[in-house]
Amino acid sequence: MGEPYAFFQGQYMPLKDAKIGILTQALHYGTACFGGIRGNWDAEKKHLCLFRMKDHYRRQLDACKILNISLPYDADALCELTVETVKRSGFKENIYCRPLAYKSSEAIGVKLHGLEDDFFVIATTLGPYLGTGGIKCCTSSWRRVSDSQISPRGKITGIYVNSALAKTDANRAGFDEAIMLNENGHVSEGSGENIFVVMKGQLITPAPYDSILLGITRDTVMQLAKNELGVDTIERSIDRSELYVADEAFFTGTATNVAPISSVDQRTIGTGDTGPLTAKLQKLFNEVALGRNPKYSEWYTFVKPQ
């Protein structure tokens, strides 16, 4: 059995021992950015595969620039800290790593300058985020925050209040997930996932200018579609009504992997079952994320638990 572990304030320790003060600036104002890295357990080879870890940290360091967070680590060093944390956790099952860079000063005041910065990473477990069946969605009345408000290009903690409002409203109304529109009324993403649709054989996803997170899983699926299936992805604005007439739709995300959408606003997508292209991409992604395809070896970091 493993134990949730953390690298925190320059030390490795069990997660239960990692604490921050109640005056920590990031707690009050959302001045932090996080990541999410999956580690898939290969029972045959007895190791974990941390998937596209360096790409996750490159994106997080970009978000740090937006928040004026300066860390004494580059992406390689952050990967090393994460590997050691995972080793010490001892998990021999699928894991989830949560890194956070944050304004660590214990100070009241809304600003980004003149504050201390810090970083921690947690290795723990996370069950299925959206379940395993077809996902029932509704269009949220909450609009996705735009780049002119808070940049959606990084996982900035404060922006996720926007997502939490949409998610809770959807769940309380009996849906599994919300789909958010941007300020122009175009489809943006789920509360914590990117979205794809299939229409007349074309794979389509919202473009970066539609207030989306540039997801690592999103990019992985686009590459797999092209390299393995010969299918190019069209990045363009998607109208809400296009969701209703799509042949297939699915979410992507680190916590979600590739998850089929069965309905939107009580309208069945396609047959309501996992569509053929979605099923192929789901299978490809699950195989690649386990770390067994040498074509994508640059995406893999293998870790043997202690």
Residues labelled catalytic? 155
In whole angstroms, what is the distance from residue 240 CA to residue 51 CA? Answer: 32
Structure tokens at 171: 């769940």
What does DSSP say about strands 187-190 and 11-14: parallel, antiparallel, or unpaired?
A: unpaired
Token couple for 131: 């379940």
Q: Which residues contact 2 (CB under 8 A, 6 or more apart)?
A: 89, 90, 91, 92, 93, 95, 125, 305
| Burial track 127-152 (b if 16+ CB lie within 10 A, e otherwise) | eebbeeebbbbbbbebbbbbeeebbb
- What type of residue sits at position 302? F
Burial 246-269 (b: 16+ CB within 10 A, else e): bbbbbbbbbbbbbbbbbbbeeeeb
Residue 197 CA to residue 238 CA, distance in Å, equals 9
**DSSP letters for 112-139:** SSS--EEEEEEEE----SS-SSPEEEEE
Question: How many Å apart are CA 140 and CA 264, to the nearest integer?
Answer: 11
Angstrom distances, CA of residue 193 to CA of 160, 196, 231: 12, 10, 21
Could you tell me whether strands 257-264 and 135-139 are parallel, antiparallel, or unpaired per DSSP bridges?
parallel
Are 160 and 167 a contacting pair, CB within 8 Å? no
Q: What is the dihedral of CA 107, 113, 118, 122, to 10 degrees?
A: 90
CA distance 124 to 3: 7
